[in-house]
Structure 1
Amino acid sequence: MRAPLQKIETSGELPQTADAVVIGGGIVGIFAAYYLARRGLKVALVEKGRVGAEQSSRNWGWCRQQNRDARELPMATRSIDLWQRFGAETGEDTGFRRCGLLYLSNDDTELAGWVRWRDFAKTAGVTTHML
């Protein structure tokens, strides 16, 4: 069951000053604003619609490690760490759950590709099993 979205009431009035302005209240925008504020910056977050309810339905928060491009994998691995730390830092249940991912195939060419990815994943510290 998905966690219900909490409606966040804000003023329609924009702040007169800000050290940083983050446009977009999706997962990336929210975390950018959070970490900038933790560094002591005055942050204005601007979202055209509902916070956490617009583009977030179309991304995965960069958590998926399996079958990632080698250039994306470090970001995905770091993202998992950040999700877990955020919950511990704030005491909030974000709904993030670390679980597995399963791909099925009966195509020899595709399976060979998975073997190559599995071998790469081991060098990157990602646990991958083929059954």
Structure 2
Amino acid sequence: MPAPLVHVETSPTLPEHADAVVIGGGIVGVFTAYNLARRGLAVALIEKGRIGAEQSSRNWGWCRQQNRDARELPMATLSLDLWERFAADSGEATGFSRCGLFYLSNDEAELAGWARWGEFAKTAGVTTHMLDSRQATERGAATGRSWKGGVFSPTDGTASPAD
């Protein structure tokens, strides 16, 4: 079942003036326009289709720091804080939840890579936990499989594209 969408009525007439033009009405474009407008800029948000109805409506909704490249991690960490701040500022239910995310694996090399990332995560202030076989199998009970291990980040979360 597709996500329920609120139709945003817009004008086909472009504004005569804008301090900033944001192209793309997905999650990144909308939040860019929102934050620029909060800073007092006149913003034109341009979308070829429907706002939030393109790729942003079909993603998994994961908001994660876990296993991010070191260059991405500061932005990923900030994005989680921005999700929480937006919910507080807008008073709206955003569908964001810091429910934690976990990965499971039966591949020793993958598990070793996650363990190395976990050591790096400590230096970056990110909480992550390696899961042994029992913990991973317990967390992944819905899969009906046994797992060699996994990794869990309790501060990661999801932002439901349907909300």
TM-score (norm 2): 0.74
The runs of 4+ residues in structure 1 deviating greater than 6 Å are none
Q: In structure 2, what is the equivalent of residue 15 of structure 1?
A: 15
Once residues 82 and 2 of structure 1 are traced to their aligned partners in structure 2, the CA distance between those partners, rounded to angstroms, is: 26
How many pairs align?
131
Unaligned ranges ≥5, structure 1: none
Alignment-mate amino acid for residue 73 of structure 2: L
User: Bigger CA drift: 60-69 or 16-25?
Assistant: 60-69
| RCO higher in structure (CA 8 A, sep ≥6) | 2
SS in 2 for 1:65: coil
Identity %: 79
Cα shift readout 1:53-90 (whole Å, capped 9, x = no counterpart): 11214666782111100100100000000010011111
Q: In structure 1, what is the equivalent of residue 33 of structure 2?
A: 33
Contact 1:20 1:44 in 2 (8 A): yes
Alignment-mate amino acid for residue 122 of structure 2: K
Q: Which structure carries more strand by proportion?
A: 2
Contact 1:21 1:45 in 2 (8 A): yes
CA RMSD between the two structures: 2.1
Alignment-mate amino acid for residue 15 of structure 1: P
Check 1:104–1:32 CA distance in 2 against 1; reply closer, same or farther (3 A cut): same
Cα shift readout 1:99-125 (whole Å, capped 9, x = no counterpart): 211111122222111110111111111
Contact 1:26 1:56 in 2 (8 A): yes
User: Bigger CA drift: 62-71 or 79-88?
Assistant: 62-71
Once residues 124 and 4 of structure 1 are traced to their aligned partners in structure 2, the CA distance between those partners, rounded to angstroms, is: 38
Contact 1:64 1:76 in 2 (8 A): yes
Once residues 107 and 23 of structure 1 are traced to their aligned partners in structure 2, the CA distance between those partners, rounded to angstroms, is: 41
Q: CA deviation at 1:6?
A: 1.1
Q: In structure 1, what is the equivalent of residue 145 of structure 2?
A: none
TM-score (norm 1): 0.91
Q: How does 1:34-113 map to 2 (within 5 A)?
A: 34-57=34-57, 63-113=63-113
Alignment-mate amino acid for residue 51 of structure 1: I
Unaligned ranges ≥5, structure 2: 132-163
Once residues 61 and 77 of structure 1 are traced to their aligned partners in structure 2, the CA distance between those partners, rounded to angstroms, is: 15
Q: CA deviation at 1:5?
A: 2.1
